[in-house]
Amino acid sequence: MADDAPPPGIDASVPNPARMYDYFLGGKNNYAADREAAERVLRVAPEARVLARRNRAFLRRAVRHLVTEAGIRQFVDIGTGLPAQGGVHEVAHELDPTVRVAYVDHDPVVLAHARALLSGAGSTVTVRGDLRRPEEILADPGLRSLIDLSQPVAILLVAVVHFLSRDDKPAELVARLRDAVVPGSHLVLSHVTDEERGGAAREGAAVYRGSDAGITLRNREEIHGLFDGFDLLDPGLVPLDDWRPGDENPLLRQARRNLPTWFLCGVGRIP
Ligand SMILES: C[S@@+](CC[C@H](N)C(=O)[O-])C[C@H]1O[C@@H](n2cnc3c(N)ncnc32)[C@H](O)[C@@H]1O
């Protein structure tokens, strides 16, 4: 995409968080304005690249857990983003090719990319939807053609809720999603926090104010509140690397632990 003209209706001169995140992950789905803004974030938060990768690693571990241990066979990934590899369906289909995944995003560039990438991938659907209107997401005919809401589902809100402002009342939005799905359903969530390195986190977030979506930093209590009505699975709400790291080399884990976290993550289950 880097050298292509942007699709109609897209202003490539305004940095966009999905494409900045793609740049952090080493992708090519970004324009000059995205790269410049991402470089400004990297100046105050050099960890941003590694954090994006760790966030993806958390997502993969959570999906594996849900398929192998929790019997989840349907995922609704809201705020899909642009990552080219290691998407939810790829991780899940390694374990069970019948797993169904609905990818939801409000960004037309993300949707165009996802549709191109997923054409031919069975058991997936791409849906335009906004987390601020959860009922519309779950009522979407495309989503409903694949996802059976009478059966447990995993809702993924990975690195997306921090794009909602306080006025958006994210805890209420998550509760509306929770109330629309059956017991045994799960929530997978990660969120930027200013608990550590508050100053740098705020400087990094300030760069996003010049993008087409701002970031709202939240503390542990606020992020914990998003899991209201869910039982948090062990180990609870933790830094990205601490969520069931499995058999990862303990020395590597120790080295990572010395880096500031910036993110908290967790997986909850509706009892
Ligand atoms: C940082 S990316 C995260 C991608 C992926 N979930 C991950 O963690 O790797 C955030 C994504 O959320 C999307 N997003 C932001 N606000 C949204 C909203 N209100 N509704 C739906 N998607 C949204 C953006 O377009 C972007 O693709």
Task: State pLDDT tens for residues 70-117.
Answer: 999 999 999 999 866 678 999 999 999 999 999 999 998 888 888 888
CB of 87 sitting under 6 A from ligand 1: no
**In this structure, which residue's CA is closest to atom 11 in ligand 1?**
79
Q: What is the mean pLDDT of residues 16-41?
A: 92
Contacts of 136 by beta carbon, 8 Å cutoff, 6+ apart: 129, 130
pLDDT at 246: 79
CB of 21 sitting under 6 A from ligand 1: yes
Q: What is the mean pLDDT of residues 153-172?
A: 97
User: In the chain, which residue ranges form alpha helices assigned H by DSSP?
Assistant: 17-24, 32-44, 48-68, 88-95, 108-118, 134-139, 141-146, 170-180, 198-209, 220-225, 250-257
Q: Which range (106-110, 242-246, 259-263) has the least confidence? A: 259-263
Report which of residues 183 and 9 the model is more confident about: 183
**Beta-carbon-side half-sphere exposure of residue 232 (alpha carbons within 13 Å):** 17
Query: Does residue 55 have a pLDDT over 70?
Result: yes
Query: Does residue 256 have a pLDDT over 80?
Result: no
CB of 105 sitting under 6 A from ligand 1: yes
Q: Percent of the chain having pLDDT more than 70?
A: 90
Helix (H, G, I), strand (E, B) or coil at 75: strand
Report which of residues 210 and 146 the model is more confident about: 146
Is residue 140 very low, low, confident or very high in pLDDT (cuts 50, 70, 90)?
Answer: very high
pLDDT at 212: 74
Per DSSP bridges, beta strands 186-192 and 100-105 are: unpaired
CB of 191 sitting under 6 A from ligand 1: no
Residue whose CB lies within 8 A of the most ligand 1 atoms, among 104, 106, 190, 262, for a mutation test: 106
**Residues facing 193 on adjacent strands:** 218
pLDDT at 20: 92
pLDDT at 85: 66
Token digits for 218? 């939240």
CB of 62 sitting under 6 A from ligand 1: no
Instruction: Give the domains, in start order, of the chain with CATH numbers.
Output: 48-197+213-269 (3.40.50.150)
CB of 170 sitting under 6 A from ligand 1: no
Q: What is the mean pLDDT of residues 3-17?
A: 80
Q: What is the mean pLDDT of residues 214-231?
A: 95
Q: What is the mean pLDDT of the chain?
A: 89
Q: What is the mean pLDDT of residues 132-157?
A: 98
